[in-house]
Amino acid sequence: MLLINCPFCKHRNETEFVYGGPVGANRPDLNSASDEEWVDFLTMVPNPIGPVNERWWHALGCGEWFIICRDTVTHEILETPIEKV
């Protein structure tokens, strides 16, 4: 069970949150991106044994989307960037 640090509600139980996937590359500019770059953006995500940035949604709380950095081995939440998604 994770205690997730919501930017507004602070530490809340994982069951209040919905997982929103790992943070991949930035969305490329559609007018200049090649097909390969676009497919890469849509399909490739980081899969490290260690820290990964991921989105969570405080669905049963304040409703905020935010990014946390979590270790995929220890489940330790290393930091909570208050960055807007």
Partner 1 sequence: MQNYSLFSLARNALTGHKNWQKAWRSAPLKEAYEVIIIGAGGHGLATAYYLAKEFGITNVAVLERGWLGGGNVARNTVTVRSNYLRDQSIPFYVKSVSLYEGLTKDLNFNMMHSKRTMVDVVLNYPKMRDLRRRQLTMDIYGSTYEQITVDEVRNIIPALTGGGPQSRLPIIGGMVHKDAGVNRHDAVAWGYARAADALGVEMHQQTAVTALLRAENGDIQGVETVKGTVKAKKVIVAVSGHTTSLTETAGLRLPLRTMNLTAFVSEPIKPIVDVIVNCSDLGFYFSQSDKGELVIGGAPDSGQSFRRDIKQHVFEDTVGAMLELFPSFKKLKLLRQWGGHLDIAPDASPIMDETSVSGLYVTAGWWGGYKAIPAGGLTMAHHVATNSPHPLMQAFSLNRFKNLDYILETGTTTAR
**Binding region for partner 1 (CB under 8 A):** 1, 14-15, 17-19, 22, 35-36, 39, 42-45, 47, 49, 52, 54, 70, 72-75
The least CB distance from residue 10 to partner 1, in Å, is: 19
Shortest distance (Å) from residue 20 CB to partner 1: 9
Beta carbon of residue 15, minimum distance to partner 1 (angstroms, whole number): 5
The answer to whether residues 27 and 39 touch, using CB atoms and an 8 Å cutoff, is: no
**Is-contact 84 67, C-beta < 8 A?**
no
Cβ-in-10-Å burial (0-12, 13-18, 19+) of 50 comes to exposed
